[in-house]
Amino acid sequence: MPMRRYSVEEVVDAVVIGTGAGGAPLLARLARAGLKAVALEAGQHWAASRDFATDERSQRKLFWTDERLSAGQDPVPFGSNNSGVGVGGSTLHYTAYVPRPQPDDFQLFTEFGVGVDWPIGYADLEPYYEELEEFLGVSGPSSYPWGKARRSAYALPPLPLNGAAQLMQRGCDQLGIRTSPAPNAALSGPYFQEGVGWRAACTNRGFCQAGCTTGAKASMDVTYIPLAIHYGAEIRAESFATRLELDPAGRISSVIYDHHGVEQRQKCRYVFLCAGAIETPRLLLINNLGNSSMQVGQNFMVHTGMQVWGQFAEDVRPYKGIPGALISEDTHRPEKVDFAGGYLLQSIGVMPVTYATQLARGRGYWGEALTRCMRGYNHTAGINILGDCLPYPGNYLELSGEMDARGLPKPRIHFSFGENERRLTAHAEKIMREIWRLAGATDIWSFNRGPHTIGTCRMGHDGAQAVVNSEGKSFDIPNLYIADNSIFPSALSANPALTIMALSLRIADRFLATIQ
Amino acid sequence: MRDDHYPPGTVTALLETDWVTEPTRQVLQARLLPLPAAPRFFEPKTFALLDAVSKLLVPQPPPVQFVDLAARLDAALLADVGKGWRYDGLPPDKEAFTIGLQGVEESSMLLFNQGFITLAESEQITVLTAVQNGLAPGTTWHYLPAQRFFEELLAAFVELYYAHPLGQEAIGVVAMADKQGWRQIGLDSLETQEPLALKQQTYGP
């Protein structure tokens, strides 16, 4: 279907900056309501079957590779697996692991007296989780053992278990830890959606983090983006937003963006900033906007995400199957512990370059130690946690004095794990090592990491302490909304993509209700 | 720990077949082509040092076919392929690698009174281990964090090597042969295009 086009001179209803999990669902919603909506995307609009190779190095084109400076005691590596570029954003390279958060995740302060509560709760997002799981075609178990009882079944049966999942199941069975096939936003069977068409079933390529070539994975480019185009939205790829121009009344009147080196100015009534927890605050700080709370860039979080690897006698071939095939949430609120929050456990497959790089960076292996360990790659399996992470004053994003190729300041991100994360991770490491030992692993080792980018434009009830309200609306600029992982007040002990999408849909619905 | 070896030629042969999609074939066959031997980013002297370091960090003894890692890093730096971040205490990659290699040479002179490439292998390993552990002598390391530099250089070589079809062949990886997808994904379930590890006695010196 041909895409509708709007003129830069025309005052469009909405400019959406970013086309990932934050921007794409909202864009489709606004377009469906009849609004003239234009999305700006810094990266290209790929055709996966033509443009994507089963190759980690060339697929780095899906990662945001503009340089960021990583500071603090636990500097965060960017540019792989936590920030995407291209129509679809980070969903182009997410593993599509989509467990819902549990209701208590939204009330960390009430439960533990640390961190903050969300200004909305599980009940506010539940209908959106249901809608998303149906629309994306989430594959999951017929009954899910943890959290609030589900009101509806997953759209499709679960994806098959790969070697890592079988091994984790074996170890967990012996420890008495319950497991379940995980919910994944990749199709276990062919699936049809109005406005999108048929998507084919997953073929068990384990290269989800290097881009899905078949369209089975529910990245935005094969779900909400075609839906948005179907309803009349325009996608402008290779368009990098640089400035937000205000009218005398303090409303944004146009968005300035760079397209192939030429500056463009799109007039608009509303702006939805969905560029992720690094580029969203960076754009606001560069423009000195929306920051009367002084919270833009603050409260930067990751997830606790330690991985524990082991080698097995069995052939695993960890490049096959959906990487996170198995889940356990028995550790969501573990008893007799010295930390707040909790975590989930997942089995993980891994691509070879990713694994080798971890051996180099995490284990410091080189020479024969490295090449020998890599000769055992085909027998390697991992378990990984995804757990909470508290905000701390010392963890934040700021603009550095160093300019990028566009002449804009590079962001510097300070991050150090705190005591709560160290205790949670130590608890998890012990369990993961025990699971692997019982499953028969040798050469067990751990790689600590902090996946995902969260916080930096916190939502809340109070404009003195938050950047946006519970509906994503800026406290300072009446026609600016933010819908992405930057508005999360706390990290949640579940992978963020599903909740980013749920917030995106909710923010769109609330916005539409106010203008009608 | 396991020490599997795989038959040579598996990946290069697969790239010619219908197990591999056209975009994957194009990328990997292009990567198989050798690069010009002469450096374009590094000075020849620094490049010789880089080459010696690369062979210690990622040894490629026969029968594994050699991948020219130093030339690939030279080309990557020339192309300025960013990776999206850097440690706050390090200068940009081009500068960090150039200065760090000077540091390796400086440490080598201070420890053994000889340039790095003329050292015996055991001495070279001593120098690199000292750099990795932040214990190498030299004024260079007063302003360039040695451990961070070492980690970056190692990670760069490791990525270049295991992204190369020959590097993958050495570890029996045929992830690229996925055009038909994978049906046998459980433990000990291989498909016809997946190579079996060689028996111990069929490889080695």
Q: Which residues of B touch A54 (CB under 8 A)?
A: 20-21, 24, 175-176, 178
- Angle (nearest 5°) at CA A152 between A147 and A157: 90
Q: Which residues of A touch B56 (CB under 8 A)?
A: 366-367
Task: Assign A312 to helix, strand or coil.
Answer: coil
The interface predicted TM-score of the complex, written ipTM, equals 0.97
Residue A152: CB partners within 8 Å, gap ≥ 6? A130, A133, A134
d(CA A100, CA A146): 10
User: How many beta-carbon contacts under 8 Å exist across A and B?
Assistant: 199
- Angle (nearest 5°) at CA A384 between A60 and B171: 55
How much of chain B, in percent, has pLDDT values that exceed 70?
Answer: 97
**Residue A516 binned pLDDT confidence (cut-offs 50, 70, 90):** confident
Distance in Å, alpha carbon of B54 to nearest chain A alpha carbon: 9
Contact A53 B28 (CB under 8 A): yes
Q: Is the pLDDT of residue B205 over 50?
A: no
Task: Assign A235 to helix, strand or coil.
Answer: strand
- Output phi, psi for A214, to 5 deg: -105, -10
Query: Which pLDDT score is estimated for B82?
Result: 81
Query: Which pLDDT score is estimated for B37?
Result: 84
Q: Which of A52, A65, A320, A449 to mutate to test the interface with B (most CBs of B within 10 A)?
A: A320
Taking Cα atoms as reference points, which of A231, A255, A237, A246 lies closest to residue A35? A231
**Residues B86-121: tens digit of each pLDDT:** 999 999 999 999 999 999 999 999 999 999 999 999
Query: Which pLDDT score is estimated for A465?
Result: 96
Q: Which residues of A touch B197 (CB under 8 A)?
A: 378
d(CA A510, CA A516): 10
Query: Which pLDDT score is estimated for B200?
Result: 60
**Residues A455-507: tens digit of each pLDDT:** 999 999 999 999 999 999 999 999 999 999 999 999 999 999 999 999 999 99
Average pLDDT over residues A377-401: 98
Average pLDDT over residues A176-200: 97
Query: Which pLDDT score is estimated for A1?
Result: 67
Cis previous bond, B63, omega within 30: yes
Q: Is the pLDDT of residue B204 over 90?
A: no
Which residues 68-97 on chain B approach chain A with CB closer than 8 angstroms? Answer: 81-89, 92
Whether the model clears a pTM of 0.95, i.e. scores above it, the answer is yes
Distance in Å, alpha carbon of A486 to nearest chain B alpha carbon: 19
**Furthest-apart CA atoms within chain B: distance in Å:** 59
Contact A379 B4 (CB under 8 A): yes
Paired tokens of A88? 């679809």
Contact A359 B85 (CB under 8 A): no
Q: Is the pLDDT of residue A45 over 70?
A: yes
Query: Which pLDDT score is estimated for B203?
Result: 47
pLDDT, chain A, mean: 97
